């Protein structure tokens, strides 16, 4: 029997990379998944993949930082799938530079996508969690719901040229700890996962070719590592490899299953044993 049968999970940033792997993992364990991505095409692709594998998915494309979008997202999950038991705040991206080159727009963007948006999503979910807790308590039932916020080793150990990104991911840890204390009475666990170097388009390697970029809302952002730098990073990792998106998803999954029902307010580092950047 699958561990998440009967559960509904909301996963942001689920069209590619880690978010896609998380959505697929939760669906493979029986969850019905409401997926979100900034871009509609990859979101539709993951919904199709979940359906082809025998699961159930629905979704809503759009930016998690958009005005009013958090309410639309939570409402969409409730309307489409009839409940909400797991929230994975995964959406985010990097916009790195040394601190003297960071613009106000850059600082605000990193803080909002990594901390502000998850807070607004969780705020939108609170009435549903409270209502379900009250109904279940009245019926003599205890049902544990789950929140998993995605942080980064940059927040735990630091990373050069990424102060705003690290600040946003650090805020995730503080938010997680605070909400774990606030929502314990509602039987909601709140934890975070801090990823190390995971193989995604954000960490892709490149050689003599031009620095790769991704586009986020019309702006190109540099991503990836030069081959030599990535080889140096790999040597620093005790497990001697970068993590896969599936490795990352497995870390999130641990906080979603019943075995973690008495674990809350924790940050799990998924980095292959790497403790310095």
What CATH number did the domain enclosing 57 receive?
A: 3.40.50.720
**Contact at 8 Å (CB) between 23 and 46?**
yes
**Active-site residue flag, 93:** no
Residue 167 falls inside a structural domain: yes
Instruction: Give the range of the structural domain holding residue 116, as residue numbers without chain letter.
Output: 8-199+243-270
Q: How many domains does the chain have?
A: 1
Question: pLDDT grade, residue 1 (50/70/90)?
Answer: low
Question: Is 160 within a domain?
Answer: yes
Residue 117 token pair: 């948006």
Between 192 and 94, where is the model more confident? 192
- Does the active-site annotation cover 7? no
- Quote the pTM value: 0.93
Residue 215 lies in a domain: no
CB under 8 A, 24+ apart: contacts of 70-79:
70/117, 70/120, 70/121, 70/123, 70/124, 71/124, 73/10, 73/12, 73/34, 73/36, 73/121, 73/124, 74/10, 74/121, 74/124, 74/125, 74/128, 75/124, 76/34, 77/8, 77/10, 77/34, 78/128
Classify residue 97: in a domain, yes or no: yes
**Is residue 119 domain-resident?**
yes
pLDDT in tens, 149-201: 999 999 988 888 899 999 999 999 999 999 999 999 999 999 999 999 998 87
Residue 151 designated active-site: no
User: Rounded to the nearest 5 degrees, what angle is found at the Cα of 34, between the Cα atoms of 271 and 181?
Assistant: 60
Which is catalytic among the residues 7, 146, 151, 152?
Answer: 152
Q: Is residue 16 part of a domain?
A: yes
Catalytic residue of the set 63, 93, 151, 165: 165
Which position among 93, 169, 192, 197 bears the catalytic label? 169
Domain-located, residue 59: yes
128 belongs to a structural domain: yes
pLDDT tens per residue, range 37-80:
999 999 999 999 999 999 999 999 999 999 999 999 999 999 99
Residues whose CB is less than 8 angstroms from the CB of residue 7 and which lie 6 or more positions away in sequence, other chains included: 26, 30, 31, 32, 83, 85, 86, 256
């Amino acid at each position: 029997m699958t561990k998440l049968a009967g559960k509904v999970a909301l996963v942001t940033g689920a069209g590619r990379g880690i978010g896609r792997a998380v959505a697929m993992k939760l669906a493979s364990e029986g969850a019905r998944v409401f997926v979100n991505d900034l871009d509609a095409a990859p979101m539709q692709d993951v919904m199709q993949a979940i359906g082809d594998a025998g699961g159930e998915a629905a979704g809503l494309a759009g930016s998690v930082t958009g005005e009013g979008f958090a309410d639309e997202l939570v409402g969409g999950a409730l309307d489409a799938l009839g409940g909400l038991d797991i929230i994975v705040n995964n959406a985010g991206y990097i916009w790195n530079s040394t601190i003297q080159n960071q613009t106000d727009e850059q600082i605000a963007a990193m803080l909002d996508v990594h901390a502000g948006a998850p807070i607004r999503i969780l705020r939108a979910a609170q009435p549903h969690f409270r209502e379900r807790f009250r109904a279940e308590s009245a019926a003599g039932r205890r049902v544990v719901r789950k929140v998993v916020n995605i942080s980064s080793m940059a927040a735990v150990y630091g990373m050069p040229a990424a102060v705003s990104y690290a600040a946003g991911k650090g805020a995730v840890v503080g938010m997680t700890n605070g909400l774990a204390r606030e929502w314990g009475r509602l039987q909601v666990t709140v934890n975070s996962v801090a990823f190390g170097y995971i193989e995604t388009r954000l960490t892709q390697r490149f050689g003599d070719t031009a620095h790769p970029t991704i586009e986020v809302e019309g702006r190109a952002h540099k991503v990836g590592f030069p081959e030599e730098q990535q080889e140096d990073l790999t040597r620093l990792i005790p497990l001697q490899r970068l993590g896969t998106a599936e490795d990352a998803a497995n870390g999130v999954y641990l906080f979603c299953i019943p075995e973690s029902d008495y674990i809350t307010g924790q940050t799990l580092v998924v980095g292959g044993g790497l403790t310095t950047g």
